[in-house]
């Protein structure tokens, strides 16, 4: 069991590290090439995992698999920020985050059934086919959305960034050279900075929001990774039966996309209406006017407290073995409220980092997966020591103790953003003055 837990922990560590490189690259060079890199790595890793027969090979290939899959989460959030305004972003970020929350829930269901009836290698062949299908669909149909490449969508991408259909259309109706030159984005390509995500973690608002989100995700992962052990020990379930017990979390997570996402957008519109701000689907609203922290956290915070109640109820229902039905009901509500709260925090982070949404989501992943890796490593020893009931109380207690961080963001977040913007504007002005001074010195005669 310790060997299995080690593979999960290393997988999560790479889930946190990989997006910091790929996401920053996509913010500067486009989403399509970044997606291509990720899907090729993921596809190759799954083929290797299906063929390998040693534990060291398993560990290395799982790290590669994690590298390929995890960065796509940040890319999806970046693509949403490219094409959706803040007024509708809560709902669309919720849809984009489905993979993050449904993956750990669906995996035991599908993996349990495949392992029980076709053997463990079938899981990786299934993932290989699935990844190849995704790659084909993305390559053929999904256009480039990065604003550094296509602006607001009115600028045609370069050939490298085109879908096959766009390329055929371009060949039929080529853009004149003078028109293409006029429509080209005149921006200097910055170097990829893998430490940009760490900078976001160092901000007051970003650090508190991401830090609390990582604690939420870590506690949630402690439940997910130890659930099979608990069900096997207490009810004697096999892999297929254990996998089916994840269905309530799956249903709860799905429901949160239509509840939490819509509530986030409704609260945003409510604040805009109170301030007399007109909502437009094709124009971003000014964050200096709209209190984005209030619009998001007024929905998130109640869901977070509800999640703490649900995890406590789950732990003691499992500890006392009251009934399997009771356990499944608590898992449904845990999936519902936890997924809604996390989606709201992700939306807030993307909202406040519009210029680099994929990098902001990478910072989100970095904090969440590193904390969840540590939480997964201590989950089994902690349960063995104090039991699943008191472990659930511990998880909920950590969330409650750190929840004042979100209240601070709610109250002071707008002020912190203004301070950050003022410093950034001051640095820009200083840079312009320095360039002017250098230019005048070069122009002056000796």
pLDDT tens profile 316-337: 999 988 889 999 999 999 999 9
Contacts of 27 (CB under 8 A, 6+ apart): 78, 146, 148, 356, 357, 358, 359
Q: Which of 65, 46, 406 is nearest to 214 (CA)?
A: 406
Most confident of 55-69, 113-127, 325-339: 325-339
Judge whether residue 446 has pLDDT over 50.
no
The residue among 113 and 178 whose pLDDT is bigger is: 113
The pLDDT value recorded for residue 392 is: 96
In the block, tokens 């690259």 appear at 25
Helix, strand, or coil here: 315? helix
The burial class, CB within 10 Å (0-12 / 13-18 / 19+), for 355 is exposed
* pLDDT beyond 90 at 44: yes
111 vs 131: CA distance, rounded Å: 16
Look at residue 85 in the predicted model and tell me its pLDDT: 75
Quick check: 409 and 203 in contact, CB under 8 A? no
Task: Indicate whether 413 pLDDT > 80.
Answer: yes
Stretch 374-400: mean pLDDT, rounded?
A: 93
Q: Given this model, what pLDDT does residue 175 score?
A: 60
Residues 300, 344 contacting (CB under 8 angstroms):
yes
Q: Does 437 or 67 have the greater pLDDT score?
A: 67
In our burial notation (b when 16+ CB lie closer than 10 A, e otherwise), range 180-191 reads: eeeeeeeeeeee
419 has a pLDDT exceeding 50: yes
pLDDT at 46 over 90: yes
Tell me 184's DSSP state.
Answer: S
In this structure, how many other beta carbons lie within 10 angstroms of the beta carbon of residue 202?
10
What is the Cα 244 distance to its own chain's centre?
A: 25
Q: Which residue has the tokens 């122009």?
A: 443
What pLDDT, on the 0 to 100 scale, is given for residue 78? 82
2-172+194-427: what fold?
Growth Hormone; Chain: A; (1.20.1250)
Please give the pLDDT value at position 122. Answer: 92
pLDDT tens-digit map of 289-309: 788 899 999 999 999 999 999
Average pLDDT over residues 337-344: 91
pLDDT value of position 192: 61
Query: Is pLDDT above 60 for 48?
Result: yes
Q: Where residue 258 falls among pLDDT bands split at 50, 70, 90?
A: confident
In this prediction, residue 188 carries a pLDDT of: 46
Residue range 235-248: mean pLDDT, rounded: 86
Task: Give yes or no for a contact between 405 and 212, defined as CB atoms under 8 angstroms apart.
Answer: yes
- Supply φ then ψ for residue 286, to 5 degrees: -75, 125
Q: Taking the CA of residue 122 as centre, how many other CA atoms within 13 Å lie in the half-sphere pointing to its CB?
A: 10
pLDDT digits (tens, 9 = 90+) for 160-208: 778 888 888 777 776 654 344 444 454 445 566 667 778 888 888 989 9
Measured distance CA(67)–CA(50) in Å, rounded:
17
Among 302, 300, 372, 311, smallest CA distance to 341 is for 300
Structure tokens at 128: 């290989």
Domain limits, the chain: 2-172+194-427
pLDDT of residue 426: 77
The overall average pLDDT reported for the chain is 83
Please state the separation of Cα 133 from the chain's center in Å: 22
State how far the Cα of 224 lies from the Cα of 121, in Å rounded to an integer. Answer: 22
Q: Which of 63-67, 179-183, 341-345 has the lowest mean pLDDT?
A: 179-183
Q: Which of 102, 76, 93 is nearest to 296 (CA)?
A: 93
Q: CB neighbours of 167 closer than 8 A, spacing ≥ 6?
A: 159
Torsion of the alpha carbons at 180, 181, 182 and 185, rounded to the nearest 10: 100
């Amino acid at each position: 069991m310790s060997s299995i837990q080690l593979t999960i922990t290393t997988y999560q560590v790479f889930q946190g590290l990989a997006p910091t490189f790929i996401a920053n690259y996509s913010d500067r060079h486009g989403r399509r090439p970044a997606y291509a890199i990720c899907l090729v790595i993921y596809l190759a890793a799954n083929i290797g995992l299906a063929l390998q027969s040693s534990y060291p090979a398993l560990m290395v290939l799982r790290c590669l698999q994690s590298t390929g899959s995890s960065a796509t989460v940040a890319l999806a959030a970046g693509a949403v920020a490219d094409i959706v305004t803040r007024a509708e972003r809560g709902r669309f970020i919720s849809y984009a985050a489905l993979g993050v929350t449904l993956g750990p829930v669906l995996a035991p269901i599908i993996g349990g059934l495949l392992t029980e009836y076709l053997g463990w290698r079938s899981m990786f062949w299934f993932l290989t086919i699935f990844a190849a299908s995704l790659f084909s669909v993305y390559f053929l149909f999904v256009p480039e959305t990065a604003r550094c490449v296509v602006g607001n969508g009115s600028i045609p991408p370069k050939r490298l960034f085109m879908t096959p259909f766009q390329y055929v259309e371009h060949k039929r109706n080529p853009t004149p050279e003078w028109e293409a030159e006029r429509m080209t984005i005149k921006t200097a390509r910055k170097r990829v900075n893998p430490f940009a995500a760490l900078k976001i973690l160092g901000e007051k608002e970003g650090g508190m929001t991401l830090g609390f989100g990582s604690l939420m995700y870590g506690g949630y992962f402690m439940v997910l990774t130890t659930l099979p052990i608990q069900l096997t020990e207490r009810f004697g379930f096999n892999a297929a039966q254990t996998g089916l017990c994840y269905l309530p979390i799956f249903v709860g997570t799905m429901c949160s996309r239509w509840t939490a996402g819509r509530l986030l957008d409704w609260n945003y519109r409510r604040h805009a209406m109170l301030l007399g701000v007109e909502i437009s689907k094709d124009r971003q609203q000014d964050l200096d006017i709209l209190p984005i922290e209030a619009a998001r956290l007024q929905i998130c915070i109640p869901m977070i407290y509800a999640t703490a109640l649900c995890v406590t109820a789950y732990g003691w229902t499992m500890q006392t073995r009251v009934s399997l039905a009771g356990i499944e009901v608590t898992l449904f509500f845990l999936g519902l409220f936890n997924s809604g709260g996390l989606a709201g925090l992700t939306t807030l982070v993307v909202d406040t980092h519009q210029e680099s949404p994929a990098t902001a989501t990478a910072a989100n992943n970095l904090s969440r997966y590193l904390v969840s890796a540590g939480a997964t490593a201590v989950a089994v020893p902690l349960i063995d020591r104090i039991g699943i009931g008191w472990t659930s109380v511990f998880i909920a207690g950590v969330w409650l103790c750190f929840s004042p961080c979100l209240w601070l963001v709610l109250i002071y977040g707008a002020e912190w953003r203004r301070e950050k913007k003022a410093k950034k504007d001051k640095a820009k002005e200083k840079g312009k003055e320095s360039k002017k001074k250098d230019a005048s010195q070069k122009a002056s005669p000796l």
